[in-house]
Structure 1
Amino acid sequence: MSKTRSSLGRTVAAHAVLGLYTVIALFPVFIVVINSFKSRKAIFGDPLAIPTPETFDLVGYTTVLAQGDFFLYFQNSLVVTVASLFFVLLFGAMAAFALSEYRFRGNTLMGLYLAIGIMIPIRLGTVAILDLMVASGLVNTLTALVLVYTAQGLPLAVFILSEFMRGISDDLKNAGRIDGLSEYRIFFTLVLPLVRPAMATVAVFSMIPIWNDLWFPLILAPSEATKTVTLGSQVFIGQFVTNWNAVLAALSLAILPVLVLYLIFSRQLIRGITAGAVK
C-alpha cells in the first residue's frame, strides 16, 4: 500500500513539474502571439498588455500574407519536419532494436559511436555537407534538408529508444519467434507498440529544432521554392529597419503546427517522461 502511494506521489509530482515547465515555456509564446495583434506603437509601449480596441491591429498578418509566398514556406516546413520525423523514428527504432536485441562484436562501440552524435553538433560539418549536396545535385531541394535532419536526429533517437527496448520482456519476443513470426513482424507488431511513449518523446524533442532551424535552410535550400517558414520570415528583418508586426505575425502562424504536433504526442510524451517514476 505504501509503495503504491509512493508511486502515485512521484507521478503527481512529475506531472506538476512538467506542468510548471510547460507554463514557463509557453509564456514567451503567449507574448509573441498577443503582440502580433497589436500596432507597432503598442508593441513597444506596453509589450505585456493584452490587445484592446485601441491597440488591436492586423497589419502584421496582412503584410505576411501579401509579401512572399507564406503558404509555400509553411508547406515546405511541414513536409521537411514530418518526413524527417518519420525517418528518424523508423531508422532510429530499427537501430535501437538491433543494438538492444542482438549481441555481436562491436555492439558497445557502435552504441558509443552513435552517442557521439549527441555531443558533437552536426553544424561543424556544414562545409562538408554542402560539398556533398552540391556533388549530389541536391542543393535547393527539400530532400537535402530531410537527409540532414534525419542524420541530426538519429543519435538521440537510438540512445533513448534502445534504453526502452532493453526493458521489453524477452519472453514476449521469444514467444513470437516460437509462433513463427519473422524479426520484422516481431519488431513492428510486438516491440513498436510498447515503445510508443518513447517514440513520442523522441518526436517532440526532434521536431522543435527541425521546425525552428535557420542554419541549414539558409545554406542548403535558400531558393524561393524551398524556403521554410523560419527562413521566409527573415525577409521582414532588415539591417536598419525591422517590421516587427510582420515578424511576430509570421512567428505566431509558425507556432500552430508545432502546437498541433505537440498536442498529438503530449499524452505519450508524459507517459514516456514519467515511465521511470511509477516503477
Structure 2
Amino acid sequence: MNKARSNPVSAAAMHGALIIYTLIALFPVFVILINSFKSRRAIFREPLSMPNSDSFSLIGYETVMKQGDFFLYFQNSMIVTVGSLFLILLFGSMAAFALSEYRFKGNMIMGLYLALGIMIPIRIGTVAILEMMVATGLVNTLWSLILVYTAQGLPLAVFILSEFMRQVSDDLKDAGRVDGLSEYTIFARIVVPLVRPAMATVAVFNMIPIWNDLWFPLILAPAEETKTLTLGSQVFIGQFVTDWNAVLSALSMAILPVLILYIIFSRQLIRGITSGAVK
C-alpha cells in the first residue's frame, strides 16, 4: 500500500524537475529571441531587458533577408535533418530488432561493433569521408550530409532501441507468428508501436546535433545551393566585425523549427526517458 501511494509523488516530483530543467534550458533561447529585436547598442547595454520603443529594431531580420538565400538554407537544413532522422530510425530499429530478437553466432560481437560508434567520434574520419564522397561524386550534395549523419546516429539508435525491444513481451510476438504474421509485419505492427517513446528519444537526441552542425556542411557541402542554415549564418560572423543583429536574428529563426519538433516529440521523449525509472 505504501509503495502504491509513493508512485504519484515520485512521478510528480520527476515531472516537476523536468519542467524546471526545461525552463533553465530555454532561458538562453529566450535571451537570444528578445535581443534579436533590439538595436546593436541595446544588445550590449541591456541584454536581459525586454525590447521597448527606444531599443526595438528589425534591422537584424532585414539584413538576414537581404544577404544570402535564407529560405534555401532553411529548406536544406530541413531536408537533411528529416531525411537523416528517417533513415536513422528505419535502419536503427531494424538492426535493433534483429539483435534483440534473434540469437545467432556473433550477435554480441555485432552489438559491440555497432556500439563502438558511440565512443569513437565520426569526425576522426573526416579526411577518409571526404575522399569517399569525392570518389562517389557526392560532394556539394545534400545526400553526402544525410549519409554521414545517418552513419553518425545509427550506433546510438541501435543501442537504445535494442534495449527497449528486449522488453517487448515474447507472448505478443509468438501470438502474431501463430496467426501467420510475417516477421516484417510483427516488427511494423507490434514492436514499433510499443517502442515509439524510445524512437522519439532517439530522434530528439540526433535532431539537435544534426541541425546545429557546422563541421560537415563546411567540409562536404559548402556550395551556395547546398548550404545549411548554420553554415549560412556564418556569413554574418567576421574576423574583425560581427553583425550581432543579423546573427541573433538568424539564430532565432533557426531555433523555431527545432523547438517545434521538440514540442511534437516531448511527450514521447519524457515517456522514453522515464520508462522504468518510476516503479
- In the superposition, the TM-score normalised over structure 2's length comes to 0.99
- For residues 183 and 4 of structure 1, the distance between their equivalents in structure 2, rounded to whole angstroms, comes to 38
Shift, 1:17, TM fit:
1.8
Q: Secondary structure at the match of 1:225?
A: helix
Does the aligned pair in 2 maintain the 1:11–1:277 contact within 8 Å? Answer: no
Q: Which amino acid aligns with 2:14?
A: A
Name the SS for the 2:239 alignment partner: coil
1:236 and 1:246 in contact (8 A); partners too: yes
Q: Which whole-Å deviations, capped at 9, do the CAs of 1:25-81 have from their partners, x for residues lacking one?
A: 111111111000000000011111111110000000000001100000000000000
Aligned to 1:177: 177
Q: Which moved more, 1:268-277 or 1:128-137?
A: 268-277
Match of 2:62, as an amino acid? T
Distance 1:221 1:248 in 2: 24
- Deviation string, structure 1 residues 134-193 (Cα, Å, up to 9, x no partner): 000000000000000000000110111011000000000000000000000000000000
Secondary structure in 2 aligned to 1:277?
coil
Q: SS state of the match for residue 53, structure 1?
A: coil
- Further displaced range: 82-91 or 6-15: 6-15
Name the % identity.
Answer: 76
The alignment covers a number of residue pairs equal to 279
Match of 1:123 in 2: 123
- Measured in 1, the distance between the counterparts of 2:90 and 2:4 equals 36
Query: 5+ unaligned residues in a row in structure 2: which ranges?
Result: none
Any residues of structure 2 matched to 1:184-263 within 5 Å, and which? 184-263=184-263
Residue number in structure 2 paired with 1:29: 29
Aligned counterparts of 2:6 and 2:204: Cα–Cα separation in 1: 28
Match of 1:269 in 2: 269
Residue matched to 2:135 = 135
The Cα shift of 1:96 comes to 0.5
Once the two structures are TM-superposed, the CA of residue 218 in structure 1 deviates from its matched residue by 0.2
Distance 1:167 1:69 in 2: 48
Residues 218-238 of structure 1: per-residue CA shift (max 9 Å, x gap)? 000000000000000000001
Could you tell me whether the CA contact under 8 Å between 1:37 and 1:51 is conserved in 2?
Answer: yes
Corresponding residue of 1:39:
39
Provide the residue aligned with 1:114 in structure 2. Answer: 114
Cα shift at 1:13? 2.0
Please state if 1:76 is matched with 2:57. no
CA distance, structure 2, for counterparts of residue 197 and residue 14 of structure 1: 17
> 1:49 corresponds to which residue?
49
Contact 1:35 1:47 in 2 (8 A): yes
**CA RMSD, 1 decimal:** 0.8
Deviations 1:249-277 (A, max 9, x none): 00000001101110110111111111112
- Name the stretch that deviates more: 138-147 or 5-14: 5-14
How far is 1:2 from its partner? 2.0
